[in-house]
Protein backbone atom coordinates (compact mmCIF):
# COMPACT_ATOMS: atom_id res chain seq x y z
CA UNK A 1 0.00 0.00 0.00
CA UNK A 2 2.81 2.41 0.84
CA UNK A 3 4.56 1.72 -2.47
CA UNK A 4 1.29 2.29 -4.34
CA UNK A 5 0.73 5.52 -2.42
CA UNK A 6 4.24 6.73 -3.30
CA UNK A 7 3.58 6.04 -6.99
CA UNK A 8 0.28 7.94 -6.83
CA UNK A 9 1.91 10.85 -5.01
CA UNK A 10 4.68 11.09 -7.59
CA UNK A 11 2.21 10.84 -10.48
CA UNK A 12 0.01 13.53 -8.93
CA UNK A 13 2.91 15.94 -8.50
CA UNK A 14 4.02 15.25 -12.07
CA UNK A 15 0.56 15.98 -13.44
CA UNK A 16 0.26 19.17 -11.38
CA UNK A 17 3.63 20.48 -12.52
CA UNK A 18 3.01 19.63 -16.19
CA UNK A 19 -0.43 21.27 -16.10
CA UNK A 20 0.91 24.60 -14.79
CA UNK A 21 4.42 24.60 -16.24
CA UNK A 22 3.71 26.94 -19.16
CA UNK A 23 2.09 29.47 -16.83
CA UNK A 24 5.16 29.82 -14.60
CA UNK A 25 8.01 32.26 -14.99
CA UNK A 26 11.58 30.90 -15.04
CA UNK A 27 12.05 32.00 -11.41
CA UNK A 28 8.96 30.09 -10.27
CA UNK A 29 10.00 27.07 -12.30
CA UNK A 30 13.45 26.97 -10.72
CA UNK A 31 11.96 27.45 -7.25
CA UNK A 32 9.55 24.59 -7.82
CA UNK A 33 12.31 22.28 -9.06
CA UNK A 34 14.43 22.96 -5.96
CA UNK A 35 11.41 22.70 -3.66
CA UNK A 36 10.41 19.26 -4.92
CA UNK A 37 13.84 17.78 -4.24
CA UNK A 38 14.10 19.47 -0.85
CA UNK A 39 10.57 18.69 0.35
CA UNK A 40 10.63 15.01 -0.56
CA UNK A 41 14.03 14.38 1.06
CA UNK A 42 13.14 16.47 4.10
CA UNK A 43 9.84 14.60 4.53
CA UNK A 44 11.70 11.31 4.21
CA UNK A 45 14.10 12.39 6.96
CA UNK A 46 11.28 13.42 9.31
CA UNK A 47 8.98 10.42 8.82
CA UNK A 48 9.50 7.63 11.36
CA UNK A 49 8.02 4.77 9.33
CA UNK A 50 11.02 3.20 7.50
CA UNK A 51 9.17 2.09 4.36
CA UNK A 52 7.46 5.48 3.93
CA UNK A 53 10.74 7.28 4.56
CA UNK A 54 12.43 5.15 1.93
CA UNK A 55 9.72 5.91 -0.61
CA UNK A 56 9.86 9.66 -0.01
CA UNK A 57 13.65 9.69 -0.35
CA UNK A 58 13.23 7.77 -3.61
CA UNK A 59 10.86 10.46 -4.91
CA UNK A 60 13.43 13.06 -3.90
CA UNK A 61 16.15 11.38 -5.96
CA UNK A 62 13.82 10.95 -8.94
CA UNK A 63 12.89 14.63 -8.63
CA UNK A 64 16.59 15.46 -8.73
CA UNK A 65 16.90 13.88 -12.18
CA UNK A 66 13.85 15.74 -13.44
CA UNK A 67 15.19 18.94 -11.89
CA UNK A 68 18.54 18.64 -13.64
CA UNK A 69 16.90 18.22 -17.03
CA UNK A 70 14.34 20.97 -16.41
CA UNK A 71 17.04 23.39 -15.28
CA UNK A 72 18.66 23.08 -18.68
CA UNK A 73 15.30 23.75 -20.31
CA UNK A 74 14.51 26.73 -18.08
CA UNK A 75 17.75 28.53 -18.86
CA UNK A 76 18.09 27.19 -22.44
CA UNK A 77 21.44 25.60 -21.69
CA UNK A 78 23.20 23.81 -24.53
CA UNK A 79 25.24 21.19 -22.73
CA UNK A 80 26.79 17.78 -23.24
CA UNK A 81 23.64 15.68 -22.76
CA UNK A 82 25.20 12.70 -20.88
CA UNK A 83 26.38 15.19 -18.26
CA UNK A 84 22.81 15.48 -16.99
CA UNK A 85 22.71 11.74 -16.32
CA UNK A 86 26.14 11.96 -14.70
CA UNK A 87 24.93 14.69 -12.32
CA UNK A 88 21.86 12.64 -11.49
CA UNK A 89 24.04 9.60 -10.73
CA UNK A 90 26.33 11.85 -8.67
CA UNK A 91 23.30 12.70 -6.53
CA UNK A 92 21.89 9.15 -6.32
CA UNK A 93 25.17 7.49 -5.33
CA UNK A 94 25.77 9.60 -2.18
CA UNK A 95 22.10 9.13 -1.27
CA UNK A 96 22.65 5.37 -1.37
CA UNK A 97 25.88 5.59 0.65
CA UNK A 98 24.19 7.76 3.30
CA UNK A 99 20.74 6.18 3.47
CA UNK A 100 21.62 2.58 2.52
CA UNK A 101 18.25 2.20 0.76
CA UNK A 102 18.04 -0.42 -1.96
CA UNK A 103 15.95 1.96 -4.07
CA UNK A 104 18.78 4.49 -4.18
CA UNK A 105 21.22 1.75 -5.11
CA UNK A 106 18.90 0.55 -7.88
CA UNK A 107 18.62 4.08 -9.32
CA UNK A 108 22.42 4.38 -9.21
CA UNK A 109 22.81 0.97 -10.87
CA UNK A 110 20.61 2.16 -13.73
CA UNK A 111 22.12 5.61 -14.12
CA UNK A 112 25.83 4.75 -14.24
CA UNK A 113 25.55 2.42 -17.28
CA UNK A 114 23.25 4.94 -18.96
CA UNK A 115 25.77 7.72 -18.37
CA UNK A 116 28.71 5.69 -19.69
CA UNK A 117 26.66 4.59 -22.70
CA UNK A 118 25.72 8.20 -23.38
CA UNK A 119 29.35 9.28 -23.24
CA UNK A 120 30.31 6.58 -25.73
CA UNK A 121 27.43 7.42 -28.09
CA UNK A 122 28.27 11.14 -27.96
CA UNK A 123 31.97 10.46 -28.58
CA UNK A 124 31.17 8.29 -31.60
CA UNK A 125 28.71 10.87 -32.96
CA UNK A 126 31.44 13.51 -32.77
CA UNK A 127 33.66 11.48 -35.10
CA UNK A 128 30.79 10.21 -37.26
CA UNK A 129 31.04 6.53 -36.32
CA UNK A 130 28.33 4.06 -35.24
CA UNK A 131 28.55 3.30 -31.49
CA UNK A 132 28.16 -0.41 -32.28
CA UNK A 133 29.71 -3.39 -30.56
CA UNK A 134 31.23 -2.03 -27.35
CA UNK A 135 27.90 -0.42 -26.44
CA UNK A 136 25.69 -3.49 -26.82
CA UNK A 137 28.27 -5.93 -25.47
CA UNK A 138 28.94 -3.74 -22.44
CA UNK A 139 25.25 -3.32 -21.64
CA UNK A 140 24.57 -7.04 -22.12
CA UNK A 141 27.44 -8.03 -19.81
CA UNK A 142 26.24 -5.49 -17.25
CA UNK A 143 22.78 -7.10 -17.37
CA UNK A 144 24.36 -10.53 -16.87
CA UNK A 145 26.40 -9.21 -13.94
CA UNK A 146 23.29 -7.74 -12.33
CA UNK A 147 21.21 -10.85 -12.97
CA UNK A 148 23.79 -13.14 -11.35
CA UNK A 149 24.44 -10.88 -8.35
CA UNK A 150 22.60 -13.12 -5.83
CA UNK A 151 24.52 -15.94 -4.19
CA UNK A 152 22.30 -17.04 -1.29
CA UNK A 153 18.72 -16.57 0.01
CA UNK A 154 20.01 -14.17 2.67
CA UNK A 155 21.44 -11.62 0.25
CA UNK A 156 20.87 -7.94 0.92
CA UNK A 157 17.92 -6.28 -0.93
CA UNK A 158 20.20 -4.46 -3.36
CA UNK A 159 21.31 -7.78 -4.82
CA UNK A 160 17.68 -8.77 -5.24
CA UNK A 161 17.00 -5.47 -7.01
CA UNK A 162 19.97 -6.03 -9.32
CA UNK A 163 18.60 -9.45 -10.25
CA UNK A 164 15.31 -7.86 -11.28
CA UNK A 165 17.05 -5.15 -13.31
CA UNK A 166 19.29 -7.67 -15.06
CA UNK A 167 16.47 -10.15 -15.65
CA UNK A 168 14.26 -7.52 -17.29
CA UNK A 169 17.12 -6.24 -19.47
CA UNK A 170 18.77 -9.48 -20.55
CA UNK A 171 16.22 -10.47 -23.23
CA UNK A 172 16.00 -7.12 -25.11
CA UNK A 173 19.77 -6.68 -24.90
CA UNK A 174 20.25 -10.26 -26.10
CA UNK A 175 18.00 -9.49 -29.10
CA UNK A 176 20.06 -6.36 -29.81
CA UNK A 177 23.27 -8.40 -29.60
CA UNK A 178 21.72 -10.90 -32.03
CA UNK A 179 21.28 -8.32 -34.80
CA UNK A 180 24.25 -6.04 -34.10
CA UNK A 181 27.23 -6.10 -36.47
CA UNK A 182 30.18 -3.90 -37.18
CA UNK A 183 29.94 -0.69 -39.15
CA UNK A 184 32.82 1.67 -39.81
CA UNK A 185 35.25 1.34 -36.92
CA UNK A 186 36.85 4.22 -34.98
CA UNK A 187 40.60 4.58 -34.54
CA UNK A 188 42.38 2.03 -32.38
CA UNK A 189 42.62 4.26 -29.27
CA UNK A 190 38.83 4.58 -29.28
CA UNK A 191 38.42 0.86 -29.78
CA UNK A 192 40.75 0.07 -26.89
CA UNK A 193 38.84 2.40 -24.59
CA UNK A 194 35.45 1.14 -25.79
CA UNK A 195 36.17 -2.57 -25.60
CA UNK A 196 38.17 -2.19 -22.40
CA UNK A 197 35.24 -0.51 -20.70
CA UNK A 198 32.63 -2.84 -22.23
CA UNK A 199 34.38 -5.96 -20.94
CA UNK A 200 36.47 -4.72 -18.04
CA UNK A 201 33.87 -2.71 -16.11
CA UNK A 202 31.20 -5.47 -15.91
CA UNK A 203 33.88 -8.01 -14.97
CA UNK A 204 35.25 -5.70 -12.27
CA UNK A 205 31.75 -5.29 -10.83
CA UNK A 206 31.20 -9.04 -11.02
CA UNK A 207 34.42 -9.58 -9.09
CA UNK A 208 33.22 -7.20 -6.36
CA UNK A 209 29.88 -9.00 -6.19
CA UNK A 210 30.98 -12.60 -6.65
CA UNK A 211 34.69 -12.88 -5.93
CA UNK A 212 36.17 -16.00 -7.52
CA UNK A 213 32.82 -16.70 -9.19
CA UNK A 214 33.71 -14.03 -11.74
CA UNK A 215 35.09 -16.87 -13.90
CA UNK A 216 31.54 -17.56 -15.09
CA UNK A 217 31.08 -13.91 -16.02
CA UNK A 218 34.35 -14.13 -17.95
CA UNK A 219 32.91 -17.04 -19.94
CA UNK A 220 29.82 -14.93 -20.68
CA UNK A 221 32.07 -12.08 -21.86
CA UNK A 222 33.94 -14.36 -24.26
CA UNK A 223 30.60 -15.64 -25.57
CA UNK A 224 29.24 -12.12 -26.16
CA UNK A 225 32.36 -11.02 -28.04
CA UNK A 226 32.19 -14.21 -30.14
CA UNK A 227 28.55 -13.50 -31.05
CA UNK A 228 29.44 -9.97 -32.12
CA UNK A 229 32.24 -11.11 -34.41
CA UNK A 230 30.13 -13.95 -35.81
CA UNK A 231 27.55 -11.36 -36.84
CA UNK A 232 30.28 -9.22 -38.35
CA UNK A 233 31.57 -12.04 -40.54
CA UNK A 234 28.33 -13.85 -41.43
CA UNK A 235 25.65 -11.14 -41.43
CA UNK A 236 22.99 -9.97 -38.99
CA UNK A 237 21.15 -13.30 -38.65
CA UNK A 238 23.71 -16.07 -39.19
CA UNK A 239 22.72 -19.68 -38.63
CA UNK A 240 25.49 -19.92 -36.00
CA UNK A 241 23.54 -17.58 -33.75
CA UNK A 242 21.01 -20.28 -32.92
CA UNK A 243 23.43 -22.85 -31.44
CA UNK A 244 25.41 -20.05 -29.82
CA UNK A 245 22.36 -18.61 -28.03
CA UNK A 246 21.23 -22.12 -27.09
CA UNK A 247 24.71 -22.63 -25.63
CA UNK A 248 24.39 -19.45 -23.56
CA UNK A 249 20.99 -20.53 -22.24
CA UNK A 250 22.32 -23.97 -21.36
CA UNK A 251 25.26 -22.35 -19.60
CA UNK A 252 22.92 -20.06 -17.66
CA UNK A 253 20.86 -23.09 -16.58
CA UNK A 254 23.98 -24.97 -15.48
CA UNK A 255 25.15 -21.84 -13.66
CA UNK A 256 21.85 -21.72 -11.79
CA UNK A 257 22.04 -25.39 -10.83
CA UNK A 258 25.61 -25.03 -9.60
CA UNK A 259 24.87 -21.97 -7.46
CA UNK A 260 21.32 -23.02 -6.48
CA UNK A 261 19.61 -20.06 -8.16
CA UNK A 262 16.19 -20.90 -9.62
CA UNK A 263 15.79 -17.59 -11.48
CA UNK A 264 18.73 -18.46 -13.72
CA UNK A 265 17.17 -21.83 -14.52
CA UNK A 266 13.85 -20.18 -15.38
CA UNK A 267 15.38 -17.45 -17.56
CA UNK A 268 17.68 -19.96 -19.24
CA UNK A 269 14.74 -22.22 -20.09
CA UNK A 270 12.74 -19.27 -21.42
CA UNK A 271 15.69 -18.13 -23.52
CA UNK A 272 16.20 -21.65 -24.92
CA UNK A 273 12.51 -21.84 -25.87
CA UNK A 274 12.69 -18.44 -27.59
CA UNK A 275 15.79 -19.54 -29.51
CA UNK A 276 14.05 -22.68 -30.77
CA UNK A 277 10.99 -20.64 -31.76
CA UNK A 278 13.14 -18.10 -33.60
CA UNK A 279 14.88 -20.90 -35.49
CA UNK A 280 11.52 -22.45 -36.46
CA UNK A 281 10.07 -19.18 -37.73
CA UNK A 282 13.18 -18.07 -39.64
CA UNK A 283 14.61 -21.35 -40.96
CA UNK A 284 11.78 -23.92 -41.07
CA UNK A 285 8.34 -22.31 -41.34
CA UNK A 286 8.88 -20.65 -44.73
CA UNK A 287 10.15 -23.90 -46.29
CA UNK A 288 6.97 -25.95 -45.75
CA UNK A 289 3.31 -25.42 -46.51
CA UNK A 290 1.03 -23.21 -44.47
CA UNK A 291 -0.96 -26.03 -42.90
CA UNK A 292 2.10 -28.17 -42.26
CA UNK A 293 3.88 -25.23 -40.67
CA UNK A 294 0.96 -24.61 -38.30
CA UNK A 295 0.78 -28.29 -37.40
CA UNK A 296 4.51 -28.32 -36.77
CA UNK A 297 4.22 -25.20 -34.67
CA UNK A 298 1.48 -26.79 -32.57
CA UNK A 299 3.53 -29.94 -32.07
CA UNK A 300 6.53 -27.83 -31.16
CA UNK A 301 4.53 -25.91 -28.57
CA UNK A 302 2.99 -29.03 -27.04
CA UNK A 303 5.87 -31.48 -27.13
CA UNK A 304 8.66 -28.98 -26.70
CA UNK A 305 6.84 -27.09 -23.96
CA UNK A 306 6.09 -30.30 -22.09
CA UNK A 307 9.71 -31.48 -22.33
CA UNK A 308 11.15 -28.14 -21.24
CA UNK A 309 8.75 -27.79 -18.34
CA UNK A 310 9.50 -31.33 -17.16
CA UNK A 311 13.23 -30.63 -17.33
CA UNK A 312 12.80 -27.29 -15.55
CA UNK A 313 10.91 -28.90 -12.70
CA UNK A 314 13.58 -31.57 -12.30
CA UNK A 315 16.39 -29.02 -12.23
CA UNK A 316 14.58 -26.80 -9.74
CA UNK A 317 13.96 -29.88 -7.59
CA UNK A 318 17.75 -30.41 -7.49
CA UNK A 319 18.22 -26.86 -6.33
CA UNK A 320 15.19 -26.72 -4.04
CA UNK A 321 13.99 -30.21 -3.02
CA UNK A 322 10.80 -28.86 -1.43
CA UNK A 323 9.62 -27.93 -4.95
CA UNK A 324 8.88 -31.61 -5.64
Do the domain assignments include residue 313?
yes
- Domain of residue 258: give its range: 239-324
Do the domain assignments include residue 9?
no
pLDDT in the model for residue 154: 67
* Number of domains present in the structure of the chain: 1
Do the domain assignments include residue 324?
yes
Do the domain assignments include residue 208?
no
- Lowest model confidence (mean pLDDT) among 20-34, 68-82, 139-153, 161-175: 68-82
What is the model's pTM? 0.86
Tell me the average pLDDT across 148-171: 87
Tell me the average pLDDT across 128-139: 82
Of 321 and 179, more confident? 179
Do the domain assignments include residue 314?
yes
Do the domain assignments include residue 196?
no
- Lowest model confidence (mean pLDDT) among 89-93, 229-233, 303-307: 229-233
DSSP for 157-193 reads: HHHHHHHHHHHHHHHHHHHHHHH----S---HHHHHH
Q: How confident is the model at residue 324 (pLDDT cuts 50, 70, 90)?
A: very low
pLDDT in the model for residue 142: 96
Tell me the average pLDDT across 18-30: 70
DSSP for 271-282 reads: HHHHHHHHHIII
Q: Is the pLDDT of residue 322 over 60?
A: no
Of 191 and 264, more confident? 264
Highest mean pLDDT: which of 24-33, 61-70, 120-129, 249-258?
249-258
Do the domain assignments include residue 64?
no
- Lowest model confidence (mean pLDDT) among 44-58, 59-73, 131-145: 59-73
Tell me the average pLDDT across 59-83: 75
pLDDT in the model for residue 270: 92
Do the domain assignments include residue 253?
yes
The C-alpha atoms of residue 132 and residue 151 are separated, in whole angstroms, by: 32
pLDDT in the model for residue 64: 84
Residue 118 neighbours by CB under 8 Å, 6+ apart: 81, 82, 85
Highest mean pLDDT: which of 196-205, 234-243, 269-278, 315-324?
196-205
pLDDT in the model for residue 179: 81
Backbone φ/ψ region at 78: left (φ over 0), alpha (ψ -120 to 50), beta: beta
Tens-place pLDDT, residues 90-100:
889 998 998 88
DSSP for 116-136 reads: HHHHHHHHHHHTT----HHHH
pLDDT in the model for residue 323: 44
Amino acid sequence: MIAFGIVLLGAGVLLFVSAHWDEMSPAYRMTLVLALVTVFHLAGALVRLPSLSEGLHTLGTLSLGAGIQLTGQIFHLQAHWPAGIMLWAAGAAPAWLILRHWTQAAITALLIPLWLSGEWIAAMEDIGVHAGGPLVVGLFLTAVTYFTARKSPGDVPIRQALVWIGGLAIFPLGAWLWIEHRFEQPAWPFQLVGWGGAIGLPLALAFLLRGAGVVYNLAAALWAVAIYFINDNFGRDPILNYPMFALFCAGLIAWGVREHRTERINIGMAGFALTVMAFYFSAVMDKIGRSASLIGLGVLFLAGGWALERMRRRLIAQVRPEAL
